[in-house]
Amino acid sequence: MTQTETSENTIASALVATMQAMRTHGLNVGAAGNASARHPESGMWITPTGISAETLTPQQIVWVDATGQAHGAWRPSSEWHFHLAIYRARPDVGAVVHCHSLAATALACHRREIPPFHYMIAEFGGQTVRCARYARFGSEALADAIVEALEDRLACLLANHGLVAVGRDLAQALHLAEALETLCKQYLFAHALGEPVWLSDAEMADVLDAFRSYGQQPRTTGEHLSE
């Protein structure tokens, strides 16, 4: 087996594991949702259409090249247009996941963005999580709407549809999808008592600045810990 074949098998297995994790964590049911990873030479690897996570195998992962041509025996996800559009627009993105999780979809059906009710909004790159305008699934119009909603963001809702999360790799994209679903649940619970108090622009700017060093970062020699 060549190094290229080994890499392809590793990514295909990771895509299967990602789809299975989304099902296990309640983000998708049956054959809903899809995931992809950037191909190092052209286009992407993406999950196939109409196959549930329970029965999905690495051999069914599809390579779609940069021109939109699918290769192999299996048809790609019907949402391949927006996956490919994201990779074209965002060179920083290495993976994309899409799901129809309960809370995110409920909010998306109201076509409303998630406001800065909680500081963890900043994890997605801005002061809000946008909701992409409605377009039919699988359409180029939906691809355009998602690329627009993801500008300077790592996730967005899709009107009357679900959510999309992107990351440098599948692990980050999956984490962000799970984190966004949790945030949507929190917003729905908080909203049951009325509109939550929003953080101000200044407060969110402060949070976004703090997020630049959030999580595990390389330590420098002689660095002192702050609060």
Q: Residues with catalytic annotation?
A: 79
Q: Assess contact for 18 and 34: CB atoms under 8 A.
A: no
Rounded Cα gap, residues 56 and 74, in angstroms: 12
What is the torsion angle, in degrees rounded to the nearest 10, for the CA atoms of residue 29, residue 31, residue 34 and residue 40? 140
Pair of tokens at residue 68: 């939109």
Question: What is the total residue count of the chain?
Answer: 227
- Cα–Cα distance for residue pair 58/101, rounded to 1 Å: 24
192 in Cβ contact with 127 (< 8 Å): no
Do 35 and 46 form a contact (C-beta atoms < 8 A)? yes
Query: What one-character DSSP code corresponds to residue 135?
Result: -
